Structure 1
């Protein structure tokens, strides 16, 4: 999943009373924990979370905070649940005295560390460090220091309807050519064959680049204008030319409605949606990676998720670090609950993932295995200033508007300026 898009949509736009901070609507808050009040607490932490769409998540996070305060009566925790454009609201508030003590971010961005907005958390890991997924550690490592602790890994992949493909005599696609052919063959006058997003783009440009052996940003250098990247992104035009993509659906790719309701037989979505899909379809679905673009490429599943960070400039730094360590390092049972009780997610800690029973069977197990084999994180420089020019160029390429190599070269110049600004 693209966490940046998720902040805007799949886990956002939930209702609630609004708290205005720094002139922006922020979200609803709970009372500080500890018996419903901060009585007896010397410190009250403000914890920010984006508005998860999975039922029960807000209640669970509030319960975790309450349990922390019971174990640490001198520290209360106020949970602020932020609907809508979480990233923009967070970035704006981090520049003010109203910045939260603890907050989560999706698609970890190294610019926050370089600007001194988030604290290094190396001392929180302790002996548990080796138990964390290496990719998750790499994601939050800047100049040798760890600036966050991953709370969940979100895996994104292709869902397909077994019965629909079987009836059409179509083998689950294992190459991009096969995906194009399957989407076209499954398109009828009433239904389209594939859903990658309401705009027809979604994550497909980055998947295309990865699937052809390319990369987005490498060691601070934008790489999405390479020959293999141009070739793969240009290939997306075939899906648009065939008119086999569902466009303008009422919910975007991170919501499983189009697939679960039978509007499309193939959809790019996430592991989080699997319980809802299972409820709707039983076992009549399978999962696949985005296929290799051609021989020499590699299949891809996206690994995103959310990372817990601490405000480096906050007045409650040590208490905030204590809370993050308690929840995301020490409380393995709560980590397990967070990952498998409210939609499905992969715990970043290997030992916790091994005990997540709901992820050890069926399509969930297959997904976890695909992530281990083909998983790709977006680079930690991949913020909106870097990704937006790329997405805009890919949209034009898919529509046949302009020279692909030139469009991506121009986008790469804009993106490189943004990366350089992050790292300066």
Structure 2
């Protein structure tokens, strides 16, 4: 999983691009009981080649507050498990700052593993508004958004141009084009990430949200999924498999597999994160110049995406919480966030960067991504999010494979989520 993407690679890159920033711009009031000194930062495995040298940039300008990066496994589940093991160790833990999937904030906060943060310490008003909600729990700020993400619809603009068609804005338009146009060009119609893992939870939530439904309310205390809107969303996915415009193979796709199928010329439409569009449009790609991007469609117009990305949180038992807060302010400053985009190709949380003409010329998908982020919603908030996600995956998979009707799957989902909330 890429957190969407997890990720961009929001989880996979924690301390990104630490050069090119004037340190004084990140300074803020000292927190009570704070302290300065070395830090250890935990993230999932770094898949880039530039992380080490960039960390050296921070360390050169902060010789008394050097950061040591601890790379955990690439797998989000394994990284989460190792973080939790360390956090449960209390003052014996190794990790001071953690780069966590946006969906984990509620779980970590409810467990008391991460400390609440003062809102006035960070430039939250400069962020895209929806991303701030991913960092809160029970009305308090427990993390700071670092990288955001939203699902997009990638499409073969060369094929649609030949047919004189605009990209679909509704599910009906998507279905019709996937069923009638894709076969003419030897393509499958539509795919997302439908293997039962976190990606299926995201795709299912997007379908439910796009239809006007929700899954949980009140920080996971109230189950709201048993609705006509949720049934409509699950039926959209199940119908695609049943009618064949979602290929059976898509039931095995995660982010990378679905991206590769699109790059291989097998798909007309693909739901994925912006990194997939960047890869398909890059020089040397077999689809360079042939790919367009649009917001995800919904029943009656543009739908809703789920927010991906990662947040930066501070261990309750961090050795030097002031340095931790200063590092987070640094990483979320506009100069560093600009480089998160330009050198890391990760979607930044700073709103102004999405309106920068120079950046738009270089990353033409930015206006569409901004629109998608602004209409996106977090995954269901719950202190038991890992269990919530497993329940969603199992029920929606059964609907998509025909083992249950969408209506039965939604009713089962409501029952099982209620049981999770009572634990």
Superposition deviation, residue 188 in structure 1: 6.4
CA apart distance, 1:300: 2.0
Does 2:293 match 1:287?
A: yes
Q: 2:42 aligns with which of 33, 45, 48?
A: 48
How far is the alpha carbon of 1:326 from its aligned partner? Answer: 2.9
1:234-249 to 2 correspondences below 5 Å: 234-248=235-249
TM-score (normalised: structure 2)? 0.80
Q: Which one has more relative contact order, counting CA pairs under 8 Å at least 6 apart?
A: 2
Find the residue that maps to 1:194 and give its secondary structure.
strand
Aligned length: 383
Whether the aligned pair in 2 keeps the contact of 1:272 and 1:343 (CA below 8 Å) is: yes
Pick closer, same or farther for the CA change 1:119–1:333 going to 2, 3 Å. same
Q: Tell me, which stretches of 5 or more residues in structure 2 are unaligned?
A: 16-35
For residues 356 and 380 of structure 1, the distance between their equivalents in structure 2, rounded to whole angstroms, comes to: 35
Separation in structure 2 between the aligned mates of residue 141 and residue 245 of structure 1, nearest angstrom:
36
Aligned to 1:3: 3
Q: Is the 8 A contact 1:389 1:415 kept in 2?
A: yes
Return the match for 2:111 from 112, 115, 118: 115
Question: What is the aligned partner in structure 1 of residue 33 from structure 2?
Answer: none
Q: Tell me how far apart the structure 2 counterparts of residues 275 and 189 of structure 1 sit (CA, whole Å).
A: 23
After superposition, the C-alpha distances for 1:128-176 in whole angstroms (9 at most, x for unaligned) are 2321222122222223321111111112111001112333555422211
What is the CA-CA distance between 1:103 and the residue it aligns to?
A: 0.9
Partner residue in 1 for 2:28: none
Relative to the length of structure 1, the TM-score reads 0.80
Could you tell me which residue of structure 2 aligns to residue 131 of structure 1?
Answer: 126
Out of 308, 319, 322, the position equivalent to 2:323 is 319
Verify the 8 A CA contact 1:359 1:368 in the aligned structure 2.
Answer: no
Shift of 1:407: 2.6
Partner of 1:80: 70
Shift of 1:118: 0.6
**2-structure distance, mates of 1:248, 1:363:** 31
Give the corresponding residue for 1:377. 378
* Residue 26 of structure 2: aligned partner: none
Residue pair 2:237, 2:400 contacting (<8 A) in 1 also: yes
Residue in 2 that maps onto 1:36: none
The reply on whether 1:307 has 2:311 as its aligned counterpart is yes
Partner of 1:187, secondary structure, is: helix
Runs of 4+ in 1 over 6 A off after TM superposition: none
Q: 1:193 is paired with a residue of what secondary structure? A: strand
* Comparing 195-204 and 160-169, the one that deviates more: 195-204
Native 8 Å contact 1:140 1:149 kept in 2: yes
Aligned residue number for residue 147 of structure 1: 142
8 Å Cα contact 2:40-2:70 kept in structure 1 = yes
Q: 2: CA distance between counterparts of 1:269 and 1:190?
A: 21
1:415 corresponds to: 417
Unaligned runs of 5+ in 1: 15-28, 30-41
User: In the alignment, which residue of structure 1 is the partner of 2:391?
Assistant: 389
Q: Distance in 1 between matches of 2:344 and 2:370?
A: 20
**Within 2, Cα distance between the matches of 1:189 and 1:284?**
14
Question: What is the rounded CA distance, in whole Å, between the counterparts of 2:266 and 2:302 in structure 1?
Answer: 29
Aligned to 2:234: 233
Q: How big is each residue's C-alpha offset from its partner over 1:73-125, in whole Å with a ceiling of 9 and x where there is no partner?
A: 21121111222232222223322233411111112331211221111121563
Deviation at 1:396, TM superposition (A): 1.1
Whether contact under 8 Å (1:119, 1:310) holds in the other structure is yes
Number of the residue aligned with 1:22: none
Q: How does 1:4-403 map onto structure 2 within 5 Å?
A: 6=6, 43-53=37-47, 55-56=48-49, 59-60=50-51, 62-82=52-72, 83-84=74-75, 85-96=78-89, 97-108=92-103, 109-122=105-118, 125-126=121-122, 128-168=123-163, 170-185=165-180, 186-187=182-183, 191-197=187-193, 199=195, 202=200, 203-219=202-218, 220=220, 221-248=222-249, 252-254=254-256, 256-279=259-282, 280=285, 281-293=287-299, 295=300, 298-328=302-332, 331-345=333-347, 347-355=348-356, 357-359=358-360, 363-381=364-382, 383-403=385-405
Q: CA deviation at 1:283?
A: 2.7
| Paired residue secondary structure (1:291) | coil
